[in-house]
Chain A
Amino acid sequence: MRLTLFLDHACNFRCSYCYNGDHFHREMPLDVAKRAVDLVVDGPRPLKQVGYFGGEPLLRFELLKASTDYVRLRTAQYPAPVTLVVTTNGSLLDDERLDWLGVNGFHVGVSIDGTRAAQDACRVYPGGRSTHDDVVAGIRRTLEKGLPLKTVSVVDPANAAELPATFRFLVELGVRDMSFNINYEADWDEAARDAFRLQFHEFTDAYVDLFRRGTILRVNVLDAKVITHLKGGFACSDRCDFGCEELAVAPSGNLYPCDRLIGEDARPDVIIGTVFEGVDTAARDRLIAAKNAVLSECADCGLVNRCMHWCGCVNYAMTGSVGEVSGLLCWFEQLFIEEADRAAGILFAEKNPGFIKRFYSFAL
């Protein structure tokens, strides 16, 4: 079971696209965090991962530490340690916090939109001041200390023009594992989509070029489509577990099937219980059934097995229903498949060693 604790709605950034509410202060009491850990540890499936999210979770560093201590206490008899992950905006990654995270074996996810222009387009401090220098410094410190790091970049019409430059910037910064998440709630009109297609083509060229230079990367939007070709589609275990293998906990103690659904914690239709009463399996299963109903809608698509149509959170954000797929998602997914296949076709034809190592290592 993967547990995500949403430590606080508060954040020191004011990102224009943030889906996590208005950054009001609602801190998770330690008791709620402990009850969430208890719920899973005493539940049917072992606790495998704890993720901290928000808001900005490092604003509640003492809570994060106390919660982690409790996780250790409750899982002391586990044969393997629980995986620990924190998703942060990167501005508070100072030496003290990083040393503690390193000692405790954390994986660090840092949200950064890329170049200064990309970052400043959406991810700013209150009042509009740039966050770029602080975040880049945090990433550099994290890499210097050797903590596992992955970046998350939100692609919005306001920063999409920077996408290829952002990719190169992150690689030059030393990042090798990066996730580019489309802001599906933004206004991607025809002009924005046309521009994005060109930018993404250049982005894909840069991906090919880096493999040619001997750099092995993990880039979610392209890798996912290559892997789904190799495997014949997303496996069931690749899809979000939506309350079965994954639980997200709001500061109030409300349970959600995914961290992306918490928002302002005011969506009763996607709440599946509380840490005080337990998991409402009937509510959870209704959501899962609605999510799975998407397949009949997409049955006539030849790319259905390689598409993210099953992501209830993305569907909810775009259509207000976990089970209704937006045409915009269709458009992006088809573009990603097209570009991933183009890049992979080139690298495969060249028998690029890094590409073979990255994707075909099962056979080597």
Chain B
Amino acid sequence: MKRRPGRRAPVPYMDAREFLRHRRDFLSLLGKGALGAGVLGLAACDSGSGEGGDSFQLMGALPPPDAADAVPDVPTFDSSGALPDLKDVTPGETGWVTDGIPSNPPELPDLKDVQSWEGPAGVPPLPDTVQLETLQKDTCTPGDAEGEFPPLAGVPVMPDTLQPSDVVETQDTEGEFPPLAGGIPMPQDVDTGR
């Protein structure tokens, strides 16, 4: 079976950078639940970060969005504005979805019903900047910033042909299961920078 190069198609959801630009739209939605005040406060805090020390005075009341922050009710996902395919809806006999759409779509779960959702006390501070791990290079080379194994006994020392390190130190992320022998490598979630 021959390889068939794939084509990059429009992706109907925001990447991390887009999401950061449109964050307030989602925070206001999520604010309907238990996180309301806290999340809105965080949003306000973020809007003021770097601007001065009045951020926390805005807790619970967002400042008027400026043009750059204005977010449409339904975000568009690509230049064509295409939304996910919602046609061909057919009822599922088992109650499970068909073509991604349930016959009787349940209401969105209230925030308190979402498993593992953290309450306001657990809301981490919003980082000033989010560090995104982005693939910058076409190749990854082994890093040796921390040194190298000693040469084998009886083997001539080989010149160090490794490139400078571009291996990002991995971080333990709460909730992620460590790499498992026999498993396939998983990418880490977007780095929060925390």
**What is the interface of chain A, defined by CB distance below 8 A to chain B?**
2, 4, 39, 43-45, 49, 51-53, 83, 85, 87, 107, 109, 111, 148, 150, 152, 168, 176-177, 179, 181, 202, 204-206, 208-209, 212-216, 218, 220, 223-224, 226-245, 248, 259-260, 273, 277-282, 284-285, 288, 292, 295, 297-303, 305, 307-308, 310-311, 314, 325-328, 330-331, 333-334, 337-338, 341-354, 356-357, 359-364
- Smallest beta-carbon distance B144→chain A, Å: 7
Q: Which residue of B lies closest to A178 (CB)?
A: B177
- Max count, chain A CB within 10 A of own CB: residue among B137, B139, B184: B184
Inter-subunit contact A235/B134 (CB<8 Å): yes
- Smallest beta-carbon distance A123→chain B, Å: 13
Q: Give complex CA distance A124, B77 in Å.
A: 47
Point out the residues of chain B lying under 8 angstroms from A277, CB to CB.
152-153
Choose among B12, B139, B177 the residue that contacts A348 (Cβ–Cβ < 8 A). B12
Choose among A240, A273, A292, A297 the residue that contacts B139 (Cβ–Cβ < 8 A). A292
Q: Which residue of A lies closest to B15 (CB)?
A: A230
What's the interface size class on B, roughly? 35 or more
Please report which residues of chain B, range 85-119, place their CB below 8 angstroms from some CB of chain A when the two chains form the complex.
85-86, 96-102, 105-106, 108-109, 111, 113-117
Q: Which residue of A lies closest to B155 (CB)?
A: A280
Q: Give complex CA distance A278, B102 in Å.
A: 57
Point out the residues of chain B lying under 8 angstroms from A364, CB to CB.
23, 26-27, 30, 39, 42, 123, 126
**Given A209-B96, A279-B152, A281-B158, 12 more pairs with CB closer than 8 A:** A150-B180, A214-B113, A220-B183, A220-B184, A232-B135, A235-B135, A237-B188, A285-B162, A351-B29, A353-B29, A353-B30, A364-B126
Inter-subunit contact B182/A205 (CB<8 Å): no
**What is the interface of chain B, defined by CB distance below 8 A to chain A?**
1-9, 11-16, 19-20, 23, 26-27, 29-30, 33, 39, 42, 74, 77, 83-86, 96-102, 105-106, 108-109, 111, 113-117, 123, 126, 130, 132-135, 137-144, 146-153, 155, 158, 161-162, 166-170, 172, 176-193
- Smallest beta-carbon distance B86→chain A, Å: 8
Inter-subunit contact B16/A363 (CB<8 Å): yes
Inter-subunit contact B140/A111 (CB<8 Å): no
Q: Give complex CA distance A314, B108 in Å.
A: 39
Q: Which residue of B lies closest to A308 (CB)?
A: B184
Given A87-B181, A342-B84, A344-B13, A273–B152 Cβ distance below 8 Å? yes
- Smallest beta-carbon distance B142→chain A, Å: 4
Inter-subunit contact B13/A229 (CB<8 Å): yes
- Smallest beta-carbon distance B71→chain A, Å: 12
Q: Give complex CA distance A152, B185 in Å.
A: 12
- Smallest beta-carbon distance A85→chain B, Å: 5
Inter-subunit contact B115/A353 (CB<8 Å): no
Q: Give complex CA distance A111, B180 in Å.
A: 11
Inter-subunit contact A288/B16 (CB<8 Å): no
Point out the residues of chain B lying under 8 angstroms from A307, CB to CB.
6
Q: Give complex CA distance A231, B188 in Å.
A: 10
Point out the residues of chain A lying under 8 angstroms from B151, CB to CB.
278, 281
Point out the residues of chain B lying under 8 angstroms from A331, CB to CB.
1, 4
Inter-subunit contact A278/B153 (CB<8 Å): yes
- Smallest beta-carbon distance B11→chain A, Å: 5
Given A244-B143, A305-B135, A357-B117, A229–B179 Cβ distance below 8 Å? no
Inter-subunit contact B5/A300 (CB<8 Å): yes
Point out the residues of chain A lying under 8 angstroms from B158, CB to CB.
281-282
8 contacts between A and B (CB under 8 A): A87-B183, A208-B100, A232-B132, A238-B133, A281-B149, A327-B3, A341-B13, A362-B190
Point out the residues of chain B lying under 8 angstroms from A348, CB to CB.
12-14, 77
Point out the residues of chain B lying under 8 angstroms from A341, CB to CB.
9, 11-13
Inter-subunit contact A280/B152 (CB<8 Å): yes
